[in-house]
Amino acid sequence: MLRIIITLIVLLALLPARQLQAQDPEFSQFYAAPMNLNPALTGIAWGPRFNVNYRNQWPGIDNGFTTYALSYDQHFEKLRSGFGILLMNDRVAAGLINNYTIRLNYAFQVKLSKKVGMQIGLSGGYVRKQLDWARLTFNDQINPIFGFEDFNGFPNLSTEQVPADLGINIADFGAGFVAYSKHVFGGLAFQHITSPKESITEYTDYKLPMKITVHAGGQINLTPKKRNSDNFLSPNAMFITQGTASQLNVGTYVNVSKVFGGVFYRNNFSGSDAVIGLLGLKIYFVKLGYSYDYTISNLQGYGNGAHEISLSINLGDKDGPFDQSRKPNRLECPGVLNF
């Protein structure tokens, strides 16, 4: 888990905080959100591909974090390149803080052999961070007898000065690469490489830390006598570090015909964080997945875990209307990257 709640109303009531810090939203179904994971994955599934993601994390803690994402990517063989776009909205405490992101991705493909390739990716985007000041509560609003209201039941006013602009605009950049064959892959991504300032108020100069992601996996055919089998096992690992926070996800996907699932374990290096279960269905070129993060940290029983839904539509899938699977120059990748 790579995000820290420091703007909950309770904390703001006790501390005269003027600095709002956060870290990136992360999806447990990280390969179902390829544009967010690594810009080098842009176009790796050829497509055209559309991904929709929804995550509701810690709904039991003032609605925690809610994240929505929509992306499109496609490979263009004549350019040996993939192009993509990501739209994302990350909401903290039901909109106390809103982060709106638009990101353009590009990946250039390098063929190392007929079966091995590499993609080098770049991303550039715009982020708008917006604060709902009216929902904040400060310590000078606390009446020792009546709490946050006066004896007539009216809310106490604060002397805190409202910032001139309750939001900030950020230019954001990233880069990455991934090497792959049909049976194995590994990638490295850097996001927020310029560490842009994201402080809303004039009193702080907080900068968003660079995020580094390492991910790798493979594919084991469960029916080796069938060349293009849809039955496979895919062990995967992802490590992320950003600022003072780090996390490691390890687990396995399994795909049998039209059904897929998986189990993952997440550790945040201060202890075990969650066990993640995934179940989904593929119907022709459409994949729909649901996962639940069962919290095993100290938040167990308070945050109510995390629910996540993913929808992937790959029109270039072998069952899709623009079947790209038989393209003579296509480099095949493990099935999990075609999510």
Q: What is the CATH number of the domain that holds 223?
A: 2.40.160.40
In 10 A of CB 272, how many CB atoms? 12
In 10 A of CB 257, how many CB atoms? 9
As a 3-state breakdown, the chain gives helix, strand, coil percent values, each rounded to 5, of 10, 50, 45
Cα–Cα dist 34/29, whole Å: 10
Cis peptide before 48 (omega within 30 of 0): yes
* 4 is a domain residue: no
Asked if 311 contacts 281 with a C-beta cutoff of 8 angstroms, the reply is no
* 217 is a domain residue: yes
Cα–Cα dist 171/262, whole Å: 36
* 123 is a domain residue: yes
Q: How confident is the model at residue 146 (pLDDT cuts 50, 70, 90)?
A: low
Cα 289 to Cα 35, 135, 262, 316, distances in angstroms: 17, 34, 10, 19
Collect all residues with Cβ–Cβ distance below 8 Å to 227 and sequence separation of at least 6.
none
pLDDT at 96: 83
Tell me the pTM.
0.86
* 2 is a domain residue: no
**How far is C-alpha 222 from the geometric centre of its chain's CA atoms?**
30
Query: What does the chain come to in residues?
Result: 339
Of 54-63, 64-73, 249-258, 299-308, which range is least confident? 299-308
Most confident of 137-151, 200-214, 225-239, 309-323: 309-323
With CA atoms as reference, report the closest residue to 337 among 79, 80, 42, 110: 42
Cα 281 to Cα 163, 312, 321, distances in angstroms: 48, 11, 19
**How far is C-alpha 173 from the geometric centre of its chain's CA atoms?**
16
Counting the structural domains of the chain, the total is 1
pLDDT at 6: 33
* 324 is a domain residue: yes
**What is the enclosing helix (H) or strand (E) of 109?**
strand 97-111
Write out the two tokens for 86.
């990501």
- When comparing pLDDT for 228 and 169, which is higher? 169
Q: What is the greatest pairwise CA distance in the chain?
A: 79
162-168: list long-range contacts, CB under 8 Å, 24+ apart: 162/133, 163/131, 163/133, 163/200, 163/201, 163/202, 164/202, 165/200, 166/130, 166/131, 166/132, 166/133, 166/200, 167/128, 167/129, 167/130, 167/131, 167/200, 168/128, 168/129, 168/197, 168/198, 168/199, 168/200
* 76 is a domain residue: yes
pLDDT tens, 298-327? Answer: 766 666 789 999 999 999 998 889 888 878
pLDDT at 170: 92
* 232 is a domain residue: yes
The strand pairing partners of 266, in sequence order, are 249, 274
Tell me which residue range forms the domain holding 159: 9-338
* 40 is a domain residue: yes
Mean pLDDT within 109-120: 95
Cα–Cα dist 189/108, whole Å: 14
Of 120-129, 157-166, 206-215, 263-272, which range is least confident? 157-166
